[in-house]
Amino acid sequence: MTDISIVVPAYNEHESIPELCQWISRVMQSHGFSFEVLFVDDGSTDNTWEVILAQHRLNPSFKGIRFNRNFGKSAALHTGFRAAVGKVVITMDADLQDSPDEIPALYEMVTTQGFHLVSGWKRKRHDPISKTIPSKFFNYITRLISGIRLHDFNCGLKAYQGVVVKNISVYGEMHRYIPLLAKWAGFSKIGEKIVEHRERKYGTTKFGLERFLRGFLDLLTITFVGKFARRPMHFFGTWGIVWFLLGFGFTVHMVWDKVYATWIAHEPVKREIVDQPMFYLALVALVVGVQLFLTGFIAELMARQTASRRDYLVIERAGTFPTESH
Q: What CATH number does the domain containing 197 carry?
A: 3.90.550.10
Same domain assignment for residues 132 and 223: yes
**φ, ψ of residue 321 in degrees (nearest 5):** -125, 145
State which residues of the chain have pLDDT below 50.
308, 310, 324-326
pLDDT the model gives residue 300? 75
Same domain assignment for residues 101 and 139: yes
Same domain assignment for residues 273 and 153: no
Strand partners of residue 65: 40
Residue 124 lies in a domain: yes
Which of 103, 116, 112, 201 is closest to 156 using CA atoms? 103
Which of 136, 187, 191, 144 is closest to 164 using CA atoms? 187
End residue of a domain, out of 203, 228, 253: 228
Residue 318 lies in a domain: no
- For 89, 96, 172, the CA distances from 92, given in Å and listed in that order, are 10, 9, 19
Which of 21, 18, 67, 60 is closest to 40 using CA atoms? 67
Same domain assignment for residues 36 and 94: yes
Same domain assignment for residues 114 and 169: yes
Same domain assignment for residues 28 and 173: yes
Check if the beta carbon of residue 133 is closer than 8 Å to that of residue 127: no
Handedness of CA 45, 199, 120, 141 (dihedral sign): negative
Residue 315 lies in a domain: no
Same domain assignment for residues 134 and 40: yes
Same domain assignment for residues 118 and 37: yes
pLDDT the model gives residue 98? 92
Number of domains comprising the chain: 2
Residue 74 lies in a domain: yes
Residue 290 lies in a domain: yes
Same domain assignment for residues 220 and 249: no
Handedness of CA 124, 172, 9, 117 (dihedral sign): positive
- The 3-state DSSP class for residue 318 equals coil
pLDDT the model gives residue 174? 80
End residue of a domain, out of 228, 261, 276: 228
End residue of a domain, out of 159, 194, 228: 228
Check if the beta carbon of residue 144 is closer than 8 Å to that of residue 107: no
Residue 15 lies in a domain: yes
Domain carrying residue 270: 232-307
pLDDT the model gives residue 285? 93
Check if the beta carbon of residue 40 is closer than 8 Å to that of residue 8: yes
Same domain assignment for residues 153 and 117: yes
Same domain assignment for residues 205 and 129: yes
Residue 198 lies in a domain: yes
Same domain assignment for residues 94 and 190: yes
Strands 4-10 and 88-91: parallel
pLDDT the model gives residue 326? 41
Residue 319 lies in a domain: no
